[in-house]
Structure 1
Amino acid sequence: MTHQDNPKNQSSATAGSESSSPLEDIGNQVEKLAAKTADSIRRVIDKALASRNTVLTIRVNDECNQKLNMLVEAGLFRSRSESAAFLIQEGIKSQRSLFDKIAGKLKKIDQIREELKEIVNQEISSRDQK
């Protein structure tokens, strides 16, 4: 009886040609996961960029330009403008506590300005009454 005549060897030979190796299975799973992740990222980005309605012209250095181009070349964004808008939005989100502090200080500045206007108006009014 030859190697191929043995029913055990035939089934294992057939199984080997029909099934993939564990490494190939892992590779396929990684590819599927990467595709799902890319789709998920794309949906988040599209949602974030859908509400853009202000045009802003900016100048960037060569390094920033290269990074923006990388995001476009990777297929994550359709343009450098989309890349920049996304990165700006993410930067603002990551610095939320800083912007909260700035907003609080600006509110105080507005209150002080109003107080100064009142002081000036009172001084002008008191002079006019004399």
Structure 2
Amino acid sequence: MQDNEAPKRERLIRGVGQTVTDAVVRGTDEAVTAAENLKETIKSKTSGDRQARDNVVMVRVDKDSLGKMDELVEAEVAGSRSEAAAYLITEGIKVREPLFKAISAKVEEIRKAKEELRNLLKQEQGGE
């Protein structure tokens, strides 16, 4: 009986090996496609931002953040560290949009309160 089992086992092993090979090839192809799509998406977003980026901000970043920016540049997703940083900042703001809306509302309240205070002080000075 063992003679009959050996060919079955070999066919099974070859079948499993082929299945694994097929899965790896498909997974690799899908990963490459996803990476290319991501690259094109980021490039299209950052290229449109080039004209809008006319403000300069100097920042210090940690090693991990710099590494991520360099990866975007090396992958040719961003043309420079500056472009990568601008993209990451923009995307971070989009992700935290509810927080920034709340901050904007509070800042507006603060501005109004300051204006009221200035007006009050002007009235007091004029009344002396």
TM-score, normalization by structure 2: 0.68
Moved more, 108-117 or 30-39: 30-39
> 2:33 is matched with which residue?
33
Structure with bigger RCO (C-alpha 8 Å, 6+ apart): 2
SS of the equivalent of 1:93 reads: helix
> 1:84 is matched with which residue?
85
Uncovered stretches (5+) of structure 2, i.e. residues with no partner: 1-21
CA distance in 2 between partners of 1:119 and 1:31 (Å)? 63
SS of the equivalent of 1:53 reads: coil
> 1:106 is matched with which residue?
107
Q: Which amino acid aligns with 2:83?
A: E
Closer, same or farther in 2 for the Cα pair 1:88/1:32, shift >3 Å? closer
* Aligned length, in residue pairs: 106
> What percent identity do the matched residue pairs reach?
34
CA distance in 2 between partners of 1:67 and 1:42 (Å)? 16
Closer, same or farther in 2 for the Cα pair 1:116/1:27, shift >3 Å? closer
- Alpha-carbon RMSD across the aligned residues, in angstroms, is 2.6
CA distance in 1 between partners of 2:125 and 2:112 (Å)? 20
Uncovered stretches (5+) of structure 1, i.e. residues with no partner: 1-22
Task: Please say which structure displays the higher CA radius of gyration.
Answer: 1
CA distance in 2 between partners of 1:62 and 1:97 (Å)? 28
